[in-house]
Amino acid sequence: MEYSTATEILEKLIGFDSVSHKSNLEIVDYIARSGEAMGARIERFPSPDRQKEALLIRFGAPGPGGILLSGHMDVVPVTDQVWTSDPFQLRRDNGRLYGRGAVDMKGFLALCLSCAKGLDLDKLQRPLYLAFSYDEEVTCDGVKPIVAHLKENVPDLACAVVGEPTAMKIVGAHKGAVDWNVRVHGKAAHSSLPHLGSNAIHAAARLVQLVDLIAKEFAHRPVPEAALFDVPFTTLSVGLIKGGSAGNVIAPECEFHIEARPLAAEDKEHILAKLTQLLDSEVLPGMRRTFAEASVSITEIDSILPLVREAASPAERLIGEIAGSDDIQAVSYATEAGFFQTAGIPTVVFGPGSIAQAHQPDEYITESQFAAGGRFLERLAGTLI
């Protein structure tokens, strides 16, 4: 792989302001045109509002045993961050490549495109796929139509590699992420006459205590197969709460936000069932003694699937052989990997750069990691010949 070519592609990619809340059609068009110029087959997956698209790019003829490389085109905002230079212009300095998305994860996208550019398509015995999504930083909605298409139309992929920055360490498991909004509806009254109202804040406070109770149950029930994790159990917490209108008014409304980091997909259902049970038995009866129409709604905002460890899976074996390592790690943050796994594709997370540099002002990837990522992809693509 030509290092200079990969760097030039990265410079182009960083130049596109593809922050999640904006349209990504410019970067999509650039990548699609690049793929077409290399002889690839392009599939586009538009968002419901048609302001964004995800891409599935195939190099080589269709058939079983292909390898899929996955990444996201969106980046987090630079708002309120102080940068040394323009975040949307690549800067090279002291062995580092700076720019928004340099490590998370336009660096990996650039390496994928550079690797593909060096392929002799006539020699490919099995196809190479690039899956580039939108909105990974907010909902992971962009990867879902790609996964549905793969499940329906692309048989027997050998493995998927999600190229998030792992410092070239193999990640075989990660937690999921689920967010719920809880809205408590009570009844307003003057604070001197509390029996005439139903205090939504008091009810919400009790619910928050119950969330903590559920969290403690998970903490005291570690899962043996979760030993790879720094925190070897499912976690959940309340991070936002708001309610009330004045200090002398019984609060008629209150809402709060729960985030869970489940080890397994079924933990999400357990949390919801347990919270609903406690809500019905310990919170609503008290509220309805003074206001029969008191209610609580729990709405899922978004959900990212966990990546569940599949020891010695085809993905772990292949990537381990090429990387020269049998060390498998687990992380508590979430990626798109779980979506590919649920489609029956052996999946690992593996990419250049450190997650510690992601989302930061003066985000960067070291040139040594960038080059190492390129060498790895070149060897991986070589297995398709």
Which structure tokens are listed for 181? 């909004």
β-pairing, 177-185 with 295-304?
Answer: antiparallel
Annotation says 136 is catalytic: yes
Q: How many whole angstroms separate alpha carbon 307 and alpha carbon 330? A: 9
Please pick, among 136, 164, 255, 362, the residue that the annotation labels catalytic. Answer: 136
The answer to whether residues 334 and 174 touch, using CB atoms and an 8 Å cutoff, is: yes
Phi, psi of 114 (to 5 degrees): -65, -40
Please pick, among 74, 104, 362, 363, the residue that the annotation labels catalytic. Answer: 74
Q: How many whole angstroms separate alpha carbon 181 and alpha carbon 54? A: 28
Classify burial at 152, counting beta carbons within 10 Å of its beta carbon; exposed 0-12, middle 13-18, buried 19 or more. exposed
Residue with the two structure tokens 């772990």: 316
Annotation says 36 is catalytic: no
Can you point out the beta strands (E) in 51-133?
53-59, 67-72, 91-93, 96-98, 128-133
Nearest to 335 by CA among 158, 173, 179, 99: 173
Q: Which residues are catalytic?
A: 74, 136
